[in-house]
Amino acid sequence: MLRFLGLRVSRALLTMVLVVTFAFVVLRLSGDPALLIMSADAPPEAIAAFRQAWGLNDPIWEQYLRYFSAIFRGDLGQSMRDGRPAIELVAERIPATLALTLPALAIKLGLGIPAGIYAALHRNSFADRAVMLLAVAGFTVPSFVLGLVLVLVFAVQLGWLPSGGQESWRHAVLPVLTLGIGGAAVLARFTRSAMLEVLGQPYMRTALAKGVPWARAVRRHALPNAAIPTVTIVGFMVGSLLAGAVVVESVFSWPGVGRLLVVAVANRDLAVVQCILLLVAATMVSANLVVDLLYGVLDPRLRSAPRGATA
């Protein structure tokens, strides 16, 4: 178990280092922040002074090492555009994003998993086809289209809910639904196919042949085994809690991390972009780590299986 844990943690750390490195190199090579921050009207000596002060003239590897060592001191840099610590700017926006993504996650889990299980248990029935039709629709419609349709119906036509902004809980309803419906559709499809695969396994036939009641066989044998692929998807969804709403935040003018990321990238506000990417990577990697550990809990074979062996 310790080896399993050690491997997973090292892999998580390596992923984060790669993300930070990739983001650093791409951002440094894709535009000069001095020109973006200082405006084209600034005299060359001012731009040179800015570059000098922020160390932008140094070789990229030197900048990278400086940035990397600062991370270990807990310093994620300062916004060149705002003058404030990047982490402070990002932290301000996190509650707004979580206010959308957490309820949306609840909808995804609460709607998607039961719908998928129900469809699998009633395979080829009218209900199965109806659930899958809705799931395919929810899965394929892009979030910005779904968002605009919801706004047209519930805000413009019916006038029940606001169309954008962040003044009250009512403003969160449509963006949460937009995020939740798409995710629930994905989960429903995955859960259904995982369940169908498990329901066809020999151990299910054996259990039923031994006289185990259908409901009990499903509960004790099908659901836990079908949980593994579903948990993978849920892990991915948990991992994208911080940055999974970029498009929806733009459509609904919701001032969360996603919109901050868009603006920071456009302005090459390096520290802010890197800070967001680091946090997103950390969330994603942590979620995956938890998922990996859950695999072990859900399937004891994974805990003891030798390296390279299939479960």
Partner 1 sequence: MARLSRRAALASAGASLVLPRFAIAQADQRLSVTVAVQKIANSNTLETLREQSNVGTRHGGSYGEALIEQDWLGDLRLQPGLASAWRRVDDGTLELELRPGVRFHDGREMTAEDVVFSFGPERMWRPDPTAARNLFGNVPGRTQGKAPPPEAAAIARRTYPGFERIEVVDARTVRFVNKVADPALEGRLSRTTGMVLSGAGFEASSSWLDWARRPVGTGPYKVAEFRPDQSLTLVAHDDHWRGRPPLRGIRFVEVPEVASRINMLLSGEADFACDIPPDQIGAFERSARHEVVGGPIMNHRITVFDKNHPQLRDARVRRAFTHAIDRKAIVDALWAGQAAVPRGEQFDFYGPMLIADWEAPRHDPAEARRLLREAGYKGEPIPYRLLNNYYTAQVPTAQILVEGWRAVGLNVVIEMKENFPQVLSNQGGGTATGRGVRDWSNSAAFNDPVSSLTSAHGPEGQQWQINEWRNEEFGRLSSVLEGSMSLDERRHAFRRMLEIIEREDPGYTVLHQTLNFTAKRRDLPWKPGASFFMDFSARNWAA
Token pair 């060149």 in the structure block, residue: 80
| Minimum separation from the CB atom of position 35 to partner 1 (A) | 5
Q: Which residues bind partner 1 (CB under 8 A)?
A: 31-32, 35-43, 45-47, 49-50, 52-54, 78-84, 148, 151-152, 155-156, 159, 162-165, 250-253, 255, 259-260, 263, 265-267
Least separation in angstroms between residue 182's CB and partner 1 is: 18
When the beta carbons of 38 and 290 are compared against partner 1, the nearer one is 38
Give the nearer residue to partner 1 in terms of CB position, either 50 or 295.
Answer: 50
- Rounded CA separation 164/254 (Å): 7
Hunting for tokens 């629709």 — which residue is that?
Answer: 137
Cβ pair 194, 121 in contact under 8 A:
no
Q: What do you get for the CA distance between the two ends of the chain, in Å?
A: 16
Shortest distance, position 73 Cβ to partner 1, whole Å = 11
For partner 1, the closer of residues 112 and 256 by Cβ is 256
Rounded Cα–Cα distance for residues 48 and 50 (Å): 5
3-state secondary structure of 78: strand
Task: Give the whole-angstrom CA distance, residue 16 versus residue 20.
Answer: 6
- Please tell me the distance from the alpha carbon of residue 158 to that of residue 144, in angstroms, as a whole number: 20
Q: Are 261 and 254 in contact (CB under 8 A)?
A: no
Nearest-approach distance from CB 37 to partner 1, in angstroms: 6
Closer to partner 1 by Cβ: residue 33 or 239: 33
Minimum CB separation of residue 163 from partner 1 in Å reads 4
Q: How many CA atoms lie within 13 A of 5 on its CB side?
A: 3
The residue whose two tokens read 């009633």 is 122
> Which residues have a Cβ under 8 Å from the Cβ of 149 and sit 6 or more positions away?
141
Which C-beta is closer to partner 1: that of 84 or that of 301?
A: 84
> Closest CB to partner 1 among 9 and 266?
266
Nearest to 185 by CA among 130, 131, 105, 234: 131
Shortest distance, position 165 Cβ to partner 1, whole Å: 6
Residues 6+ away with beta carbon under 8 Å from 120: 128, 191, 192, 193, 195, 196, 199, 226
Of 117 and 151, which CB lies nearer to partner 1 in the complex structure?
151
Tell the smallest beta-carbon distance from residue 238 to partner 1 (Å).
Answer: 27
CB of 40 to partner 1, least distance (A): 4
Report the residue number, 3 or 45, with the smaller CB distance to partner 1: 45
